[in-house]
Structure 1
Amino acid sequence: MSLERRLLRENRTARNFLLSAVFCAFLATGLWLAFLWLASAVIHRIFLGQQTLDQVTLLLTAMFGLLLLRAGLQWTSDVLAQHSANRVKQNLRARLSAKLFALGPLYTRGERTGELVHTTTTGVEALDEYMTQFEPARWLAALVPVLVFIAILVLDAWTLPILLFAGPVLLLLLALIGGRARALTEQRFVEMSWMSAFFLDMLQGIATLKLFGRSREQAATIETISRQYGNTTMDVLRTAFQTSLVLEWGATAATALVAIEVSVRLMSGLLPFDRALTVLLLTPEFFMPLRQLAMKYHAGSAGKTAAEHIYAILDTPVSAPLAFSTEPTRETNLASRDILFDDVFVAYDDGARPALNGFTLEIKHGQTVALVGATGAGKTTVANLLLRFVEPARGKICIGETALNEMAPSEWRTQIAWVPQHPHLFDGTALDNLRFAKPDATQAEIYRAARAAHAHEFIMQLPRGYDTPLGERGARLSGGQRQRLAIARAFLNPAPLLIFDEGTSHLDAESETHIRAALENLKQRRTVLVIAHRLALAHDADVIAVMQNGRVVESDTPEALEKRGALYAALRAAYQGGAT
């Protein structure tokens, strides 16, 4: 399906608005043609018919009325086109948001954030001019010449060969030059996306750049990128001007030929003056829609390019089920049962990078299980499976007797409290970030959760306590404080399953002590899966599962593994030697 049809199908109301806008613009053009016909009649009556202004007052009044009606229709057309654009943009933004949520963090981590932001913001906004300018111009370029052609056919058929020749030639020139404009617009969009991503990377890594003394090098790179983008922009504008110039020249030349042809026959007495004048006034209107289309071609190219990138996201297949579900949440406490991973296989990059290879593990209800293993063993993938961020290629995951893939993701996630290794804090206050877990939480509940997470003390030391803005990604807080705030969110979420991705490997001893104490509180009356990056935290678990090459190779209590676990003993020796 073409991009034009896909955009029109985004919203039924938007399509109706656009068609109504085109209809109003077409009527406005018809009124303008009627105005020109009346103008020709007035000129003929005054100059050749020797009539006075009083005698043509009725015609002048009709002309004035036509101008008013035309202005009203044109205004209505513009308003309707804008409504159409707004509906399409609103629909696409909603669909993009839902799609990105459905694709999940594994997709967004594989894409440059700046490019995604550019596509979902600037890209969607580029459709405004496409819908309000290019689409109406495209429709009018197909309809108006036919109307003018019929009018001239009635008045003077001898003029038609020039129009029949010039019209297709101008369309061919527009297509040839427009193809280059489209390629340049695509290049400009890609460069802008890349520049957005580069600027975002630079801002996020500005401390690292200053530390390594690379600020000047980055500034030079920015200058190079900006210059390249500026040159591409000028190429796009130059091509747009060339398109308009060629169409203007061609339309003017064709109009001049019509004027010569009409003048010769007028002087020869083969064509009445009133018809000759009307043909001369109508001929430019035959080419006007094509000239307008050439002027709007840049907006059309920009919109099509943006739409291609937008639909590239929307057409990305979802490996896991949609993030949202309209089904009501069942009363059954699904996570109160045992969890079984049975011979599970997972691979990334279309199977090129295996992550789990026959992973089998049982987590009993109320049990704390810690996954340990070297980097790349597949520990985080297990958490992603439970969070429904990824689906297994083979094998099954069961919650009691129910297969996990038979449950609505939104329903299942209400049963999970998740503390990631690097928790994301939004640009808001401490209170705002805590209430993400429970929007209707009372102050007493929030204080109780913060105290249990050993976070209340440092929050109260902030300038405005719980109402202190934390900055983007919690920039005001340390790594340990961010993790404790995430644990406090988990306390506010009474979900029976806790997934804790340990973040203590980069924390100081005091922060690690606070987090381990908070985790002990958090584990009460829950089934817990701990992704352990250091063995100290794993030793507090009921069961330790040692992973290697995407599967469990040893699984037992910490005490039993210390006695007989070969791989666990090697990991423990490496940890004690400072190698982990």
Structure 2
Amino acid sequence: MIDRSLLKLLGKRKIPALLASALLLFTYAAELVTFFAMSYTIRQALAATSLNLWIIIAVASALCALVFGIAADLIQNRLGTRIRAELRDRVLKKTFSLGGRIPQGFTTATLTQLSTSGIESLDIYFSQYFPTLIFSLASPILTLALLLAGAFTIPGGEPTLWIDAVILVLLIPLIPVSIILVSRFAKRVFGRYWGRYLNLGNSFVDALRGLKDLKDFSTSKRKSQQLTAKSEEFRVATMKVLVMQLWSTAIMDTVAYGGAAACAVVGVIFAIRSSLSPDSVAIALFSILTSLRFFLPLRKMGSLFHIGMNGATAGRSIIKYLGAEEPVWGDYDPEFTSLKLEQISYTYRDERTTPALHGIQTSYPATGLFGIVGPSGSGKSTLAKILSGAIRPSSGQLKIADIDIGSIDRTWFYTNVAYLDADPYILSDSILNLFRLYCPGISDSRIEELLDMVELKHLYEDGRLERPLKENASDLSGGERQRLALALTLSRPRKTIIVDEAISAVDAQSSRIICSVLKRISSTCLVLIITHAIELLKDADRISILKDGRLITEGKYDTLTKKGFLSFGGDEL
């Protein structure tokens, strides 16, 4: 019922969770004392003796139960709030530490769902289910101890309290046993449910991203049908979860209310047979109240169990993500003099027999314009990820100034190495704020200079610098958006700029402008252009040709075109 691996996520919050369990148990004990004092007060009233002491005890114990209950609720609520904040902070820090790399088995949609509904479910698991489980396991022992003590010490209480204790002892195991039996089936059901949930989210995000292409190729209807089918699968999985929950709840209710009814019947029969004497009425009342309260913790634990199972499933995914291997970084700030690739190879985990890159050996100076070209599937994107620090090579070394990337300070690397792909995401904010985000303290004149450089002068001449852009700068054309992304990238000094298919994916005018800017800045930094169109690299100092993950040749544009390396738009070689 408790996944020990999930307790690692609690960290230092184990003590508040255990304190909440203790307060719940104190509340329960105070309620039992209240029931006993109330029953004895009625006994004294029927016997026409003094009531003052027992009324004071009843009121005091009831107030204690109220205070303990409120304290437990406050601790559980605060525990839940802190767990949510800490887990989201850990997931965010992990995302940053991975350097833009998403571990295998995860997607953007998956991480979004884990960070929202997944952590919410895990919050309930830790702040509600875990304390209630500990409390519900301890409370029956306390109740039985009290009943047995009463059977030995209260005059005339032996028959009723002994029978109640036997009934409770027989029924106690039924709820936990039913939960354990259900949990074996529930783990599979919730696993499939969570898998369908994540799969549906991934498909929906994928459809949104490709909506324009779906419309262009008239396949939106087919995609809609696929989403409908996956929605139906998720609905069926949800119904199976609900059916399981209903059966489990029915079993627990039968045991809880059936047991309470049996104890109540025993108490009433005892009181009637004793001619409703003061002692028999008090014992019967105490028996009924205790039996009714006895099953509530176990029933609450059972109802929270289903939510807890959902949180446990999400928690295992969060543990897997937090345990993903991170790139190793050092603390060295090198003087950028060269970039070297020494026998770089890379194999994706799901393609172990086919390396994406194999034995790449080349080097680049501190400045200059260089190109990497190849047909689709040649390994260009994989090499771009390695150069940008998103992934590490399976073998070989990436060196800056003859220092392995694993020894270089992470902040230095991401400050000095910039990556620009074909579809940069631009936040929905004003252009002025975007530049200040990329480079705090940048002057207005420098912003205008950068916009002039990429021929977006009209953006500040039209007074649009302080006007918020639409989501992902959708109010700009594709070429303007790419040029703005380049201007933002250049807002702070860079040692290396990696441009991955960012030129061939725009209109001819924007392509010409971007090529001109990259050629201009290559005198002060290293510019690597990765593309399938070799004609865009006429001004490159050197071009590297990739095919099937191997570096097959290098040279200048004229030399390579004479050898027949024309264009890879049609995967020609």
Same fold per superposition (TM over 0.5): yes
Counterpart Cα distance in 2 of 1:291 and 1:476: 56
Counterpart Cα distance in 2 of 1:71 and 1:166: 28
1:173 aligns with 2:171: no
Distance 1:6 1:128, change over 3 A: closer
Distance 1:91 1:219, change over 3 A: same
- Secondary structure, aligned partner of 2:499: strand
Deviations 1:407-456 (A, max 9, x none): 13332222213322322212323233333431332222222222222233
What letter matches 1:353 in structure 2?
T
How far apart are 1:79 and its partner, in Å?
Answer: 1.2
1:571 aligns with 2:565: yes
Residue 195 of structure 1: aligned partner: 200
Distance 1:427 1:557, change over 3 A: same
Distance 1:247 1:205, change over 3 A: same
Counterpart Cα distance in 1 of 2:139 and 2:567: 83
Residue 50 of structure 1: aligned partner: 48
Normalised to the residue count of structure 2, the TM-score between the two structures is 0.88
Deviates more, 1:135-144 or 1:492-501: 492-501
Counterpart Cα distance in 1 of 2:515 and 2:16: 59
Contact map agreement 2:267 2:283 (CA 8 A) in 1? no
1:119 aligns with 2:114: yes
Residue 246 of structure 2: aligned partner: 241
- Secondary structure, aligned partner of 2:427: coil
Residue 484 of structure 1: aligned partner: 483
What letter matches 1:442 in structure 2?
S
Contact map agreement 1:334 1:415 (CA 8 A) in 2? no
Residue 290 of structure 1: aligned partner: 298
1:546 aligns with 2:554: no
Residue 22 of structure 1: aligned partner: 21
Distance 1:169 1:76, change over 3 A: same
Residue 513 of structure 1: aligned partner: 512
Deviations 1:251-272 (A, max 9, x none): 2333344345556666676995
- Secondary structure, aligned partner of 1:321: coil
Counterpart Cα distance in 2 of 1:109 and 1:467: 40
Residue 135 of structure 1: aligned partner: 130
Counterpart Cα distance in 2 of 1:405 and 1:185: 40
Contact map agreement 2:346 2:393 (CA 8 A) in 1? yes
Counterpart Cα distance in 2 of 1:31 and 1:43: 18
Out of 135, 141, 148, the residue aligned to residue 146 of structure 1 is 141
1:252 aligns with 2:257: yes
Distance 1:232 1:345, change over 3 A: closer
Counterpart Cα distance in 2 of 1:196 and 1:431: 34
Quick one: percent identity of the two aligned structures? 23
How far apart are 1:138 and its partner, in Å?
Answer: 0.6
What letter matches 1:37 in structure 2?
F
Normalised to the residue count of structure 1, the TM-score between the two structures is 0.87
How far apart are 1:141 and its partner, in Å?
Answer: 0.9
1:279 aligns with 2:287: yes
Out of 150, 165, 168, the residue aligned to residue 163 of structure 1 is 168
Distance 1:352 1:297, change over 3 A: same
Distance 1:256 1:381, change over 3 A: closer
Deviations 1:25-72 (A, max 9, x none): 11111110110000110111122x134xxx424432432333233222
Counterpart Cα distance in 1 of 2:60 and 2:110: 51
How far apart are 1:132 and its partner, in Å?
Answer: 3.2
1:186 aligns with 2:185: no
1:321 aligns with 2:328: yes
Q: 1:24-423 residue pairs with structure 2 within 5 A?
A: 24-47=23-46, 49-51=47-49, 55-107=50-102, 111-156=106-151, 158-159=162-163, 160-261=165-266, 273=280, 274-318=282-326, 320-321=327-328, 332-335=333-336, 337-349=337-349, 351-423=352-424
What letter matches 2:566 in structure 1?
R
How far apart are 1:218 and its partner, in Å?
Answer: 4.6
How far apart are 1:461 and its partner, in Å?
Answer: 6.9
How far apart are 1:154 and its partner, in Å?
Answer: 0.6
Counterpart Cα distance in 2 of 1:236 and 1:405: 47
Deviates more, 1:75-84 or 1:362-371: 362-371
- Secondary structure, aligned partner of 2:10: coil
How far apart are 1:360 and its partner, in Å?
Answer: 0.6
Counterpart Cα distance in 2 of 1:203 and 1:500: 26
Contact map agreement 2:125 2:307 (CA 8 A) in 1? yes
What letter matches 2:162 in structure 1?
W
Deviations 1:184-229 (A, max 9, x none): 3333322222222232223333333334444455555555444443
Counterpart Cα distance in 1 of 2:480 and 2:87: 37
What letter matches 1:294 in structure 2?
G
Residue 566 of structure 1: aligned partner: none
RMSD: 3.0
Counterpart Cα distance in 1 of 2:561 and 2:303: 77
Contact map agreement 1:499 1:529 (CA 8 A) in 2? yes
Distance 1:546 1:195, change over 3 A: closer
Counterpart Cα distance in 2 of 1:30 and 1:172: 25
Contact map agreement 1:396 1:403 (CA 8 A) in 2? yes
How far apart are 1:145 and its partner, in Å?
Answer: 0.8
What letter matches 2:85 in structure 1?
Q
Residue 469 of structure 1: aligned partner: 468
Deviates more, 1:102-111 or 1:373-382: 102-111
Structure 1 gap segments, 5+ residues each: 564-568
What letter matches 2:48 in structure 1?
Q
- Secondary structure, aligned partner of 1:389: coil
What letter matches 2:541 in structure 1?
D
What letter matches 1:452 in structure 2?
M
What letter matches 1:78 in structure 2?
D
- Secondary structure, aligned partner of 2:565: helix
Deviations 1:505-524 (A, max 9, x none): 23222122211222122223
- Secondary structure, aligned partner of 2:524: coil
Query: How many corresponding residue pairs?
Result: 559
Counterpart Cα distance in 1 of 2:271 and 2:10: 53
- Secondary structure, aligned partner of 2:172: helix
Structure 2 gap segments, 5+ residues each: 152-160
